[in-house]
Amino acid sequence: MHRRRPDAQRWSLRVDPPWSLDAWRGAAREALLRGLSPEQLDWLESSAGSLLDAPAATQAPLLETPSVPHVPSAFLELASTCLCHADAQPMPLLYRLLWRIVHGERALLSNPTDADVLRAMTMAQAVRRDTHKMKAFVRFREIPGEQDAFIAWFEPQHRIVDRVAAFFARRFAGMRWAILTPYRSVHWDGQALSFGAGGHREQAPAEDARETLWQTYYASIFNPARLNTRMMQQEMPARYWRHLPEAQLLPGLIRDAGDRVQAMHDRPAQPPQRRIPSRRATSPVPSPSSDLATLQRQAAGCRQCPLWESTTQVVFGEGPGDARVMLVGEQPGDTEDLCGRPFAGPAGALLDRALSELGIARSALYLTNAVKHFHHERRGKVRLHKRPQGRHVQACRPWLLGEIERVRPEIIVCLGATAASAVFGSHFSLTRDRARWHTLPDGTRGSATVHPAWVLRQADEVRREDAYRLFRDDLRQLLIGDAESTGRRPALPPTSEG
Ligand code: URA
C-alpha cells in the first residue's frame, strides 16, 4: 500500500502550534497518503514561510490507493507527550516511528532497546517530569485592586502549558487566574480556558500578602533536624526556586540549620505537653472497705485499660444496693455511654419489654455490665459497637466483683456470653449451659441467657420474635419459675402494675 517514492524530492510540512498532536497528526496523515518517507520530509514549526523551503507536502501527488491504517493508541499518547519537548526535535522522530509502525513493525513500541523508541521514551519522560514540577511549583499572586484574580509566572523547560492547563482549571475552578510563561500564556475566567502569547516576568505581581503569610508558615514548619539538601534539590531543583516564595528563605534556613539542631540538642528536656495516660500508677482500685457509692466514684477514674480514652464515662451498675437479683450485661452501648446508665438504649428497651411482660419491676434489679466502658469503632460520625476483648473484661473484673460483694444478690443472671464468662469463667458455654444454674464460690447461684442485643440483631421479624420468646422465657424460668418449682422464696417482688 505505502511504497517509498523512487525520487528524492523533498517536501515540507508545517505544524502549528508545534506541540499540538492534532496539528502534527494532520500533517503526518497528508505525508502517509502520499507515501512520503521520513527522509523526504522537512518538518517546520512556524506558519511563516521562506523561499528556501521545500514545497508543501500537500502538493505531492496522492498514492493510487491512498489510505491511513489504524495507529495504536499507545503511539498517539507517546506522540502527544513528545511533541511538548522543546529541545530535541520530536516531529521527524515521531514520523519515523509512525512510518515503521504502518510498514509492518506493529509491535515496535514494545521494544525499548530500539534507538528511536528509546529516544522518544526519554523525551516523554522529560516532559512528564516538567509537567509534574509545574503542577507543584506554580505560585499565584493576587492582582492588586482586583478581587479573586491571580497571576503566576512560570518558566517550564518544555512546551507544556496546554498540557497542564486543564489541571489548573480543575484545581482553581473558583478563581480567575492566568499563568504566564515565556512562550505561551493561559487564562481561566471561571468558565473557560483561553491561550495567548508568552509574557514577561514583570507582568506578574512581585509579591502579595499571602506570600508573606506563606513564608512565615514555611519558616515555622521547617525542621532543621530533617534537612536533607540532596533530597531537597532532587525534589525542588534550583531552577524552580525563582517561582517559589519560600525559596528566598531557604539559603538562610539551610545556613542556620546546623546551629538550630545543636541548640535543640543542648536544650534541657521538656515534659510532654500532651496527656500521656499512665496506665496503672494513677488508676484507682476498689478499696475493700468502700461502700457501693464509693466504689462507683473510684471506678469513674479507672484507667486499667485504654477504653477510657475514647469514651464519655464509666457506666457503673444501677439499682438497689441490696437487690436480690443482679443482671450482668456485656458493656454499655452508645446511648449508655452518653447518658451514664446501663441498659438505657435499644437493648435496654427490649429488656424492659420482657420484664414488663413477666411482671418484674426493673427497679427491683441491680443492672450492671462486665465491662464498664463502651468499646467501639468510629465510622464517620457513627460509633459502632465492638465486642470487648478479654483484657477489657479482666481490667473491669475488680469492679464487677466489687459490686457482687457489696450487693450480695441471691441470684445473678448474665446476659450473653461475655457476661457469662466474666462471672463463671472462660469454660462457660452459652450454647451448652444456657438457663442452667451454677453455684459461685461464695454460694451465689448464677445462670445465663442470650443478650437482648442478639435478639435485635436477628435477620427478620419472625426470627426476632422467636429469639425474643427464648430470651423472655429464659428470664421467666430463671427469675420466677425456679422459685415456683423449688418452693424457694421468689427473688423478685411482683411489679405494682404486674
Ligand atoms: N448492652 C449491654 O450489655 N449493657 C448495656 O448497658 C447496654 C447494652
Q: Do residues 55 and 30 make contact, with C-beta atoms less than 8 angstroms apart?
A: no
Q: How confident is the model at residue 2 (pLDDT cuts 50, 70, 90)?
A: very low
Q: Which of 412, 375, 414 has its CA nearest to residue 396?
A: 375
Q: Return the pLDDT at 160.
A: 97
pLDDT given for residue 247 in this prediction: 76
Give the model's pLDDT for residue 221: 65
pLDDT recorded at residue 485: 65
Which grid cell is 337? 455511654
- Please, what is the average pLDDT of the chain? 87
Residue range 213-245, pLDDT digits in tens? 566 667 766 778 877 877 777 777 777 776 777
Rounded-to-integer distance, Cα 447 and Cα 62, Å: 97
Please report, for residues 143, 180, 207, 365, 464, the alpha-carbon distance to residue 148 in angstroms, rounded to integers and kept in the order given.
8, 17, 15, 67, 60
Query: How do residues 405-455 score in pLDDT, each as one tens digit?
Result: 999 999 999 999 999 999 999 999 999 999 999 998 888 999 999 999 999
Output the CA–CA distances (angstroms, integers) from residue 50 to 16, 39, 403, in the order listed. 16, 20, 101
Q: Among the atoms of ligand 1, which is closest to the Cα of residue 453?
A: 1
* d(CA 137, ligand 1 centre) in Å: 55
Domains of the chain, start order: 11-129 (no CATH), 138-203 (no CATH), 209-257 (no CATH), 292-486 (3.40.470.10)
Helix, strand, coil fractions of the chain, as percent rounded to 5: 45, 15, 40
Ligand 1 centroid, distance to 171 Cα (angstroms): 48
Tens-place pLDDT, residues 360-391 = 999 999 999 999 999 999 887 789 999 999 99
Mean predicted confidence (pLDDT) in 177-185: 94
Q: pLDDT grade, residue 272 (50/70/90)?
A: low
Predicted local distance difference test score (pLDDT) of residue 281: 47
Say which DSSP state 26 is in: H
User: Which of 313, 326, 331 for mutating ligand 1's site (highest number of atoms within 8 Å of CB)?
Assistant: 331
The reported pTM is 0.49
**pLDDT value for 92:** 97
How do residues 285-337 score in pLDDT, each as one tens digit?
A: 888 778 999 999 999 999 999 999 999 999 999 999 999 999 999 999 999 99
Task: Kindly write down the DSSP assignment for every residue of 35-84, as one continuous string.
Answer: T--GGGEEEE-SS---TTSPPBGGGSPPPSS-------HHHHHHHHHHTT
Question: Above 80 in pLDDT, residue 471?
Answer: yes
If one compares 148 and 103, the residue with the highest pLDDT of the two is 103
pLDDT of residue 493: 60
User: Is the confidence at residue 35, as pLDDT, over 70?
Assistant: yes
Q: What is the pLDDT of residue 266?
A: 81
Cα 347 to ligand 1 centroid, rounded to whole Å: 6
pLDDT tens digits along 8-34: 689 999 999 999 999 999 999 999 999
8 A C-beta contact, residue 234 and residue 200: no
Ligand 1 pocket by C-beta < 6 Å: which residues? 329-333, 336, 342-343, 345, 347-348, 369, 453
Q: Which of 100-109, 116-125, 201-210, 314-323 has the lowest mean pLDDT?
A: 201-210
More confident residue, 97 or 89: 97
What is the distance in A from the centroid of ligand 1 to the CA of 338?
Answer: 13
3-class SS letters over 92-135: HHHHHHHHHHHCCCCCHHHCCCCHHHHHHHHHHHHHHHHHHHHH
Is pLDDT above 50 for 496? no
